[in-house]
Amino acid sequence: MTAVRSGVMSASPPGSDCYRRPPIHRLVLWNIDLTLLDVARVSRSAYADAFGQVTGRPLVALPQMAGRTDSEIFFEALALNEVASGPAVAGDQELLARYIAALAKAFASRRALLPQQGRLLSGAREAVAASARLPGVVQSVLTGTIRPNAAQKLRAFDLEQFFDLDIGGYGSEIYPMGALLLRSRGRAGEKYGTEFGEDATVYIADSHRDVEAARMGGARCIAVASGRSTAGDLREAGADLVISDLTDTAAIVTAIEALTTSVTAR
């Protein structure tokens, strides 16, 4: 995947001060669904398809999805639809693995529907591109979606180029979102040779659960009231900044700069 690291200084002749000075980095993580785009109709269809394949039962009731991972959604759906998940943890893990594989296939088979039945939210492309141009920025995603489907969503709207998906956090991992954020910071640090602390990391997302994940995972949070959570919900959850949408590109860039401090690579 393409890693976007805008603003990293170009190489200078060996021996110069500029050549010896390491690049600086900020880590900007984006939620995908209802922050950047809306493909709920396609997602629900894929969920139902995969659920039926794995359980042999129709998906009659779908749990709330905002701020939840695909793994969480699956286990909640099992309970809501009164499907036994297995006698032991091992059985649960095996069932989840089968579901994740089925979900990736179900979503891939619907990739052509994403731009037809989904939409890019206003200002999303401009905001992501402008953030990528900030000095030293590394961008990835922190999403409840499993990685193959996250890539499909971004690719459908020509956004994949702005992200290093190798360091992101995804819903195929059985961890709460706060833990996924911590793991993403760790992967970014290993890859880019630095430690991305709380003052160098910002999460841009739309639900109160995302705000809580930022607090737990050690990141600043810009909350966008474009999803199911109201601006009041987001403020109450502790967001550092709440905005109505992504249309004011300059304000988003200013907020990222104000909330993060660049760190120096080792």
Residues 109 and 136 in one domain: no
Residue 239's Cβ-count burial label (10 Å; 0-12, 13-18, 19+) is: buried
Locate tokens 């109505």: which residue?
244
Domain finish residue from 67, 85, 114: 114
Judge whether 23 and 183 are in contact, CB under 8 Å: no
Same domain, 12 and 30: yes
Give the total residue count for the chain: 266
55 and 163 within one domain: no
CB 141 within 8 A of CB 150: yes
What CATH number has the domain bearing residue 20? 3.40.50.1000
Q: Given this model, what pLDDT does residue 76 score?
A: 83
Specify the pLDDT at position 95.
Answer: 87
**Same domain flag for 13 and 31:** yes
Give phi and psi for 30, each to the nearest 5: -120, 135
Residues 205 and 248 in one domain: yes
Q: What pLDDT tens digit does each residue of the chain (266 aa) get?
A: 333 333 333 333 334 444 444 465 899 999 999 999 999 999 999 999 999 999 888 887 777 777 678 888 888 888 878 775 544 344 578 888 999 999 999 999 999 999 999 999 999 999 999 999 999 999 999 999 999 999 999 999 999 999 999 999 999 887 889 999 999 999 999 999 999 999 999 999 999 999 999 999 999 999 999 999 999 999 999 999 999 999 999 999 999 999 987 665 55
Contact yes or no for 155/122 (Cβ under 8 A)? no
Q: Phi and psi dihedrals of 13, rounded to 5?
A: -55, 140
Q: What is residue 9's predicted lDDT score, i.e. its pLDDT? A: 32
Secondary structure of residue 28 in the 3-state scheme: strand
Residue 125: both structure tokens together: 């492309």
> Could you give the CA distance from residue 193 to residue 264 in angstroms, rounded to a whole number?
9
Q: How do strand 137-141 and strand 119-120 relate by DSSP bridges?
A: unpaired
Same domain for 202 and 149? yes
Residues 177, 58 share a domain: no
Domain count, the chain: 2
Examine the domain organization and report whether 45 and 110 are in the same domain: yes
Rounded-to-10 torsion of CA 105, 187, 261, 259: 30
Residues 146 and 224 in one domain: yes
Q: How much is the pLDDT for 174?
A: 78
Are 109 and 215 contained in the same domain? no
Instruction: Supply 124's token pair.
Output: 């999303």
Q: Does residue 241 share a domain with residue 201?
A: yes
**Is 6:129 a contact under the CB 8 Å cutoff?**
no
User: Which residue range is the domain that position 52 belongs to?
Assistant: 40-114
Among candidate residues 77, 93, 114, the one where a domain is terminated:
114
255/132 same-domain check = yes
Tell me, what's the pLDDT at 85?
Answer: 53
